[in-house]
């Protein structure tokens, strides 16, 4: 009987050890799982905090921007990456929203980043998500693409060439600005010297190109009126056309066309309106800025969409930080 009792006690002791061991294993596994969950939670929290700080910095202090086109050559080249100061003009409360903490207005000759006035929105939610993704990826990802897969420009970087109160007039691709108090428009280059600004605009078109635009506009206007160019103009047009650049200054071409139409149909109100609109240029109203590209003959800018409200100007392009060979302060 003693041996039976001893065997029973040994079985109880063995069973108890097994149960205790299993319980310890379960406790240890639970601890490991909780530790793993804690580490995962810490990583998630760290990532979320990093995302939050990136958004806050990009939205309120400075934003990274990558140059997608040649419209600002040689000041800014394709692929240049910039620091854009968003505090200087007052940051937006949220992407695309109203501003707060206004410091000052954009000034003539500053390189600015602003919302594209010609941009066709796909809805406020998409715009918000796209702007957030663009900021989080440090300007590497643009979700908004056209049917060819090319990024659509929601933001532009141009130079503020004229300020409120100015009048901006274009003649053969050259900008003339009439600031308040001036009796007539002044060539941009002369005005830059007066203001002590050192930037230079890039030109790709010359006198031959503009003569070609003038003759082509005359031909179009004459065709509309049921007339034909003189044989001399036809010969010159054919000769220049073989030597002319493939680039077109659409603003000047349209201006030339309305000048020709004005000479043919001065009694038509619509023709007179277009003639005087080009002749008088743009008057920059209060709280607006007039942006154009430094690469004057390859830029979609204020000539086509007009002055831009200050509230749509997001910041000032301050520094090129990449590539290394291009690191410099933007002037």
Instruction: Convert the pLDDT of each residue in 126-158 to its tens digit.
Output: 877 877 787 777 777 888 887 777 778 889 999
Label residue 218 by pLDDT band (50, 70, 90).
very high
Q: What is the pLDDT of residue 61?
A: 83
Q: What is the pLDDT of residue 91?
A: 87
- pTM tops 0.95: no
- 220 and 199 in one domain? no
Contacts of 222 (CB under 8 A, 6+ apart): 228, 229, 260, 264
The domain containing residue 214 runs over which residues? 207-246+248-274
Residue 289's domain is classified under what CATH number? 2.10.109.10
- 311 and 224 in one domain? no
What integer best gives the mean pLDDT of the chain? Answer: 86
Contacts of 261 (CB under 8 A, 6+ apart): 221, 224, 268, 271, 274, 275
Last residue of one domain, picked from the residues 58, 76, 94: 58
- If you average pLDDT over residues 165-193, what whole number do you get? 94
- 69 and 28 in one domain? no
Residue 315 pLDDT > 80: yes
- 127 and 7 in one domain? no
Domain total of the chain = 3
User: Which of the two residues, 54 and 116, has the higher pLDDT score?
Assistant: 116
> Using one digit for the tens of pLDDT, what is the confidence trace for 291-310?
999 999 999 999 999 999 99
Contact of 310 with 106, CB cutoff 8 Å: yes
> Using one digit for the tens of pLDDT, what is the confidence trace for 98-126?
888 767 899 999 999 999 998 888 877 88
- 266 and 289 in one domain? no
| 105's tokens | 């207005």
Domain membership flag for residue 187? yes
- 44 and 111 in one domain? no
Domain membership flag for residue 224? yes
Domain membership flag for residue 8? yes
Rounded Cα gap, residues 122 and 119, in angstroms: 9
Last residue of one domain, picked from the residues 21, 36, 58: 58
Domain membership flag for residue 279? no
Identify the CA nearest to 81 among candidates 329, 330, 323, 325: 323
- 218 and 79 in one domain? no
Q: What is the pLDDT of residue 180?
A: 93
- 324 and 239 in one domain? no
- 268 and 193 in one domain? no
Q: What is the pLDDT of residue 126?
A: 83
- 186 and 109 in one domain? yes
- 66 and 52 in one domain? no
- 175 and 165 in one domain? yes
Domain membership flag for residue 133? yes
Domain membership flag for residue 315? yes
Rounded to a whole number of angstroms, the CA Rg of the chain reads 33
């Amino acid at each position: 009987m003693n041996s039976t009792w001893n065997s029973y006690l040994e079985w109880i002791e063995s069973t108890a050890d097994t149960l205790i061991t299993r319980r310890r294993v379960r406790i240890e596994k639970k601890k490991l799982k909780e530790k793993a969950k804690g580490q995962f939670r810490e990583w998630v929290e760290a990532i979320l905090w990093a995302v939050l700080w990136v958004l806050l910095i990009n939205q309120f202090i400075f934003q990274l921007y990558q140059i997608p086109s040649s419209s600002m050559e040689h000041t800014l080249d394709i692929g240049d990456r910039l620091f854009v100061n968003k505090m200087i003009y007052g940051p937006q409360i949220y992407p695309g929203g109203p501003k707060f903490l206004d410091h000052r207005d954009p000034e003539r000759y500053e390189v600015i980043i602003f919302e594209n006035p010609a941009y066709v929105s796909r809805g406020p939610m998409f715009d918000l998500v796209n702007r957030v993704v663009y900021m989080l990826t440090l300007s590497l990802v643009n979700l908004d693409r056209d049917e060819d897969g090319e990024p659509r420009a929601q933001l532009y970087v141009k130079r503020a060439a004229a300020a409120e109160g100015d009048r901006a007039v274009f003649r053969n691709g050259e900008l003339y600005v009439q600031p308040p108090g001036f009796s007539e428009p002044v060539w941009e280059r002369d005005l830059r010297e007066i203001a002590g600004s050192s930037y230079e605009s890039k030109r790709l078109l010359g006198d031959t190109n503009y003569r070609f635009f003038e003759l082509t506009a005359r031909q179009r206007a004459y065709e509309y009126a049921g007339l034909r160019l003189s044989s001399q103009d036809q010969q010159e047009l054919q000769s220049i056309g073989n030597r002319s650049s493939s680039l077109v200054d659409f603003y000047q071409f349209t201006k030339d066309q309305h000048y020709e139409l004005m000479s043919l149909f001065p009694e038509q109100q619509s023709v007179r309106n277009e003639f005087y609109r080009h002749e008088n240029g743009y008057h920059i109203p209060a709280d607006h800025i007039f942006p154009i590209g430094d690469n004057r003959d390859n830029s979609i800018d204020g000539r086509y969409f007009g002055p831009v409200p200050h509230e749509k100007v997001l910041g000032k392009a301050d520094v090129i930080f990449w590539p290394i060979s291009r690191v410099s302060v933007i002037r």
